[in-house]
Amino acid sequence: MSSSRSDALGLYISVPFCRSKCTYCNFASGVYPASDHALYVDRLISDLAAARAWAERRNAVLPRRVDTVYLGGGTPSLLAPELLSRLFAAVRAEFDLEPDAEITVECAPGQLAELTLKALVAAGVNRVSLGAQSFIDREVKSCGRLHSRAVVLAEIERLRAAGIDNLNVDLIAGLPGQTFASWEESLAVLAATAVPHASVYMLEVDEDSRLGREVLGGGARYHADQVPTDDDLAQMYSVAIEKLRQAGLEQYEISNFCRPGMESRHNLRYWQRRPYLGLGLDASSMLLEASPAEEGIEAGRVLRSTTTDDLKEYLAGAPLVEESWLAPAQQHEEAWFLALRLNDGANVAAVEREFGRGMVAPALKAVKRLAEAGLLVFDGQTVCLTPHGQLLSNDVFQEFLDLRAEEGPANEALQLPEKPSALSSQPAPPVLPRH
């Protein structure tokens, strides 16, 4: 196991509280009584205190040094200033935060009180992610968002005035009523803000959101009949890559763009398979096994765990809902499809060093097939998605998930779907935390 994967830890803290539930949202979040906020922070603090003993009982390494912290949701900025202060104090009591640690908090535009902002700055927060989703007022209103373009722009200036310049803005392609013209307008407004980071997600259509269920059922509630087609989504995605590149925001991951050196260090941790501890509702963790790796390869087992997505259960003290050890063969599959999310791609020598040539050989056969299909490019050292491969990324990743099957897609001629798959806003769950 390489030292780069075990030298420091990332913390992800889920805060599921929202002022309103967006129609497209499929996360474990919602509108809950304010009285639950203090109870929730109490549980988080308790989990922080118990984390080291839990890891030791499972023979997992829990580094004390932390170089990234991410509060996601939900809307973490809805917590009262004193609750945020208590939470960050507990984090610092249990872990050693690096002096230059990246500390990110997700905020909904227009829902960041002045005292809360001061508390975040005092706690060391140096990065904020704003869920704008669109700069077209009618589009954000149609999906239940409570802000406007003017509010987002004012929030960006407020944050900068408070000393937080490391800002991310989220956009979603595929919102009801969105057109190519309105999409380009949103991209242009985002570019004009000169923020150093942007995330562009494609609308996820599934049973876990109200809008998704309506689209799948052929209904019109939540303006489901106005959702752009998959072909339109693919074109919007391609336009976003080009327009953001022209604005100085280069794509470095399927859904993420930044100015030089401004990548999200916390999210890179997931794609690089470095350890993280997830706390709170529907949070995931990935820790390394403490015992030595198998001789001849670097990979040892990895512990993955998730928490309940039911707030009542969580506040009542529910234990982890899932806990499993991943053997090197399973990690090998992840190593490919997580690295392929990054524009830098997968380094074959590094994968062979970690897992051994014997395990990697079938993957290289899949790489060859996918390269012949125009979905990957392989220069003998690095494997990367092509632009077409990015549009079909879920299908490409499935090839690597099927590596251990004796029969199946990975051992047959590659069959391409007629239409591009909609890009997911997250890697295939449950591999990564959903935030």
Q: Average pLDDT over the chain, rounded to whole? A: 85
- Among the residue ranges 63-67, 71-75, 109-113, 224-228, the one predicted with the least confidence is 224-228
Residue 306 has pLDDT above 90, yes or no: yes
- What mean pLDDT do residues 198-226 have? 69
Confidence bin at 301 (pLDDT 50/70/90): confident
d(CA 160, CA 235): 33
3-class secondary-structure state, position 68: strand
Beta strands in 116-255 (DSSP E): 127-133, 166-173, 197-202, 250-253
pLDDT tens-digit map of 251-286: 999 999 999 999 999 999 999 999 999 999 999 999
pLDDT at 404: 62
Q: How confident is the model at residue 228 (pLDDT cuts 50, 70, 90)?
A: confident
Phi, psi of 237 (to 5 degrees): -65, -45
Distances (CA, A) of 299 to 79, 163, 302, 402, 427: 40, 41, 9, 20, 22
Q: Which of 15-29, 154-168, 180-194 has the lowest mean pLDDT?
A: 15-29
Three-state SS string over 321-352 comes to CEEEEECHHHHHHHHHHHHCCECCCEEHHHHH
Q: Which of 148-157, 190-199, 297-306, 422-431 has the lowest mean pLDDT?
A: 422-431
Quick one: average pLDDT of 141-154? 85
**Predicted confidence (pLDDT) at residue 416 exceeds the cutoff of 90:** no
> Is the distance from CB of 230 to CB of 420 less than 8 angstroms?
yes
Residue 132's pLDDT band, with cuts at 50, 70 and 90, is very high
- What pLDDT shows up at residue 433? 35
Query: With pLDDT > 70 as the criterion, what percentage of the chain qualifies?
Result: 81
Which segments of the chain belong to CATH 3.20.20.70?
3-271
Answer whether residue 421 shows pLDDT above 70.
Answer: no
258 residue type, one letter: C
Return the C-alpha torsion angle 137, 143, 144, 149, nearest 10.
-20
For residue 31, is pLDDT > 70? no
**Average pLDDT over every residue of 191-200:** 98
- Angle, CA 39 vertex, CA 36 and CA 40 arms, to 5°: 80
**CB-based contact 166:202 (threshold 8 Å):** no
Q: What integer is the mean pLDDT of 102-118?
A: 95
CATH superfamily, with its number, for domain 3-271: Aldolase class I (3.20.20.70)
Q: Please report the pLDDT score of residue 293 as a whole number.
A: 53
Instruction: For residue 420, give the DSSP letter.
Output: P
DSSP 8-state class, residue 30: B
Whole-number pLDDT of residue 208: 57
Question: Out of 171-175, 343-347, 385-389, which region has the weakest mean confidence (pLDDT)?
Answer: 171-175
